[in-house]
Amino acid sequence: MTTLFIILYLLPIVPLYILARMVDSSVGAALFWGILWPVSCIALLYHALRDLLHI
């Protein structure tokens, strides 16, 4: 179950990163590293912990 969440959260990162690079290197990178990446990591950690703790 956790593997499924890892795949679901990591899959959109590559196209979003490419899109961010295409829009503008500085703004896109700030958007990606400042918002999209932390949100994905937090969501991934939440689901992993939820699976481990059976919440």
Residues 6+ positions from 1 with CB-CB distance below 8 Å: 51
Of 49, 52, 40, 33, which Cα lies nearest the Cα of 7? Answer: 40
Which residue, chain included where needed, has tokens 């196209």? Answer: 15
Residue 49 clears pLDDT 80, i.e. is over it: yes
Structure tokens at 2: 């956790």
Q: pLDDT tens digit string along 1-42? A: 677 777 777 777 777 777 766 666 677 677 777 787 788 888
Which residue, chain included where needed, has tokens 């703004």? Answer: 27
Q: Where are the domains of the chain?
A: 2-53
Residue 55 clears pLDDT 80, i.e. is over it: no
Residue 12 sits at φ, ψ, to 5 deg, of -70, -15
Does residue 21 contact residue 29 with C-beta atoms inside 8 Å? yes
Q: pLDDT tens digit string along 32-43? A: 777 877 888 888
